[in-house]
Amino acid sequence: MAVIRVRNTLGRRLERFQPLNPPNVNMYVCGPTPQDYAHIGHARTFVSFDAIKRYLGIRGYNVFHIQNITDIDDKIIAKARDENKTWKDVSSYYGTDYLNQLERIGVKIDIHPKVTDHIQEIIEFIQVLIDKGYAYTTESGNVYFQVDKYPDYGRLSGRISRDQWRQEEEFLAEKKSPYDFALWKAAKPGEPWWDSPWGRGRPGWHIECSVMSTRYAGGQLDIHGGAMDLIFPHHENERAQSEAYLGKTPWVRYWMHTGYLTIHGEKMSKSLGNIIVLKDAINQWGPGPLRLWLLSAHYRTQLEYSTQSMEQAKRLYERLRDIALDVSTRLEKSEPTHYLDKRDLDLLEKLRNTHLRWHESMSNDFNFGEAIREVWEFTKLYYKGVKYSESQTLLLYSFKIIDSFNRVYAFADDILLEKTDKALGELAEPLIDLILEVRTELRKKRMYDLADSIRSRLAQLGVKVLDYKDKSEWRIEK
Ligand SMILES: [Zn+2]
């Protein structure tokens, strides 16, 4: 199987993927600031990292996916003011929409830490930066990171000259240099605040990601992802804070960034007014076709939205579902193959090569664009040959391929995964019977402690045990 290589934004090189503690992989992706409906540009980033995680899963890695929710921020406060709501109303309303749409589109994340649940940890982290001499406080109650103290600043974004580091211009007067950035912001009148050793205020945007990622990954990260417009200043600042805090480098082994989603060649953005809301796109095209389309170009390149490309994704989706159904139904009825003719052998070879090229594309920095071409190729081979073949070998091999595609693109979980669930469901009943038989024997031998413990463990699983004189029965309690 092809070696997995990742293009690291830091250094701009293709590097062999070697996590710190294989097979475990820690991946942190910068999530949304919920102050409006999620759009398909956001979805591109989230679906891309979900697919990267799923592919690493096929290759035997166990990815822990952390994706934060910035539930307090200038933009949320401004939106709340405009709409005469509280910041909590705004972030929880749009935060719920985001989680709902992610679920519809098949993105599965292990933990969604929210900033406001981690204020204490953020304060402690900032205090360490102050104690180590990387940060300073001002009279107004702000705390800044002193960029000059971190010698590697600018390397992630490739900004070598200092004039490219200017940020947060509104506080120039009190900062030691124009490129220092806020770790803690003193509360302005009418703004939400939390108590801190520096007075009432709230965390700056960059610090939350350093704190929550470090906390949930237990220190260093294997992958840090996000959209490419986060490279500067957000990720540059995160890197400076975290390496200063941890006192080690690299904090992140692989920095990965997704490209823009464009419409008529222009980046989709609020300011241009060319946003397509995720919920609307899912309603129009269906989650499956939309997901396939989002994975139809390399994650780093631009992806251009058009009705034509969406219709193509829809066709591919329909083909894949049709094949998933066809192959799994026919496989159940098929008889073992004892002989492959020349045509079968030829087709088997082609199927194997397509699958191999798909793996090679995915392993080569997750080249979704090349990979999807192999998915098309597979559907053509299926319709041309496998569809009319009685060979169990060809059906088995096709099943194997479509199952691995589904593990990344998630177009037929209901068809392909249901089988495994059903098999497990059928196993549950005889297993409970078996446990109860053993328990009855224990009771006969007066080993009541153990018998009681089995009963309470089963109760925790929702299985209620009813004891009679020499037998026990059970039922599922919902
Ligand atoms: Zn972030």
Q: Which of 373, 395, 414 is the last residue of a domain?
A: 414
Residues 197, 67, single domain; the answer is: yes
User: Looking at the structure, do residues 32 and 179 belong to the same domain, yes or no?
Assistant: yes
At residue 57, the pLDDT reads 97
Centre of ligand 1 to C-alpha 136, Å, is 22
* Residue type at 474 in one-letter notation: W
Statement: residue 331 has pLDDT above 70: yes
Q: What is the pLDDT of residue 421?
A: 58
Are 320 and 435 contained in the same domain?
no
What is the CA angle 337-339-340, rounded to 5? 100
Q: In this structure, is residue 301 part of a structural domain?
A: no
Q: State yes or no: pLDDT of 135 exceeds 60.
A: yes
Percentage, residues of the chain above pLDDT 90: 82
Pair 115, 201 in one domain: yes
363, part of any domain: yes
Task: Take residue 155 and report the two structure tokens written for it.
Answer: 């390397």
Whether 153 maps to a domain, the answer reads yes
Q: How many domains does the chain have?
A: 3
pLDDT above 70: residue 39: yes
How many whole angstroms from 65 Cα to the centroid of ligand 1?
14
Centroid of ligand 1 to alpha carbon of 456 (angstroms): 44
21 pairs with which residues across the strands?
A: 24
What number of residues does the chain have? 478
pLDDT score at 422: 61
Measured CA to CA, the distance from residue 196 to residue 251 in angstroms comes to 27
pLDDT band, very low/low/confident/very high, at 158 (cuts 50, 70, 90): very high
Joined tokens for residue 464: 């209620």
Q: Is residue 284 domain-shared with residue 322, that is, in the same domain? A: no
pLDDT of residue 173: 87
Check: CB of residue 112 under 8 Å from CB of residue 99: yes
In this structure, are 38 and 134 located in the same domain? Answer: yes
What pLDDT was estimated at residue 417? 83
Range of the domain at 332: 306-414
Instruction: Name residues with Cβ closer than 5 Å to ligand 1, which is an ion.
Output: 30, 209
CA of 56 to the centre of ligand 1 (A): 22
Q: Does residue 300 form part of some domain?
A: no
Each residue's pLDDT tens digit, 366-386: 999 999 999 999 999 999 999
- Evaluate if residue 389 carries a pLDDT over 60: yes
Q: What is the dihedral of CA 34, 40, 44, 45, to 10 degrees?
A: -10
Residue 299 inside a domain? The answer is no
Q: How far is the CA of 433 from the centre of ligand 1 (A)?
A: 50
Q: Are residues 268 and 334 in the same domain?
A: no
Shared domain for 254 and 361, answered yes or no, is no
Mean pLDDT across the stretch 59-76?
Answer: 96
Q: Flag whether pLDDT at 478 surpasses 60.
A: no
CATH assignment of the domain containing 57: 3.40.50.620
Q: Confidence band (pLDDT; 50, 70, 90) for 467?
A: confident
CA of 267 to the centre of ligand 1 (A): 20
Whether residue 338 is found in the same domain as residue 432: no
**Span from the CA of 138 to the centroid of ligand 1 (angstroms):** 25
- Ligand 1 centroid vs 235 CA: distance in angstroms? 7
Say yes or no: 319 and 261 in one domain: no
Please tell me the distance from the alpha carbon of residue 366 to that of residue 48, in angstroms, as a whole number: 9
Question: 467 CA distance to ligand 1 centroid (A)?
Answer: 55
Last residue of a domain, one of 414, 446, 462: 414
Q: Are residues 269 and 313 in the same domain?
A: no
Given a contact cutoff of 8 angstroms between Cβ atoms, the answer to whether 390 and 344 are in contact is: no
Digit-coded pLDDT (tens) for 392-413: 999 999 999 999 999 999 999 9
327's CB contacts (< 8 A; 6+ apart) are 382, 386, 395, 398, 399, 402
242 and 331 fall within a common domain: no
What is the number of alpha carbons within 13 Å of residue 296 lying toward its C-beta? Answer: 23
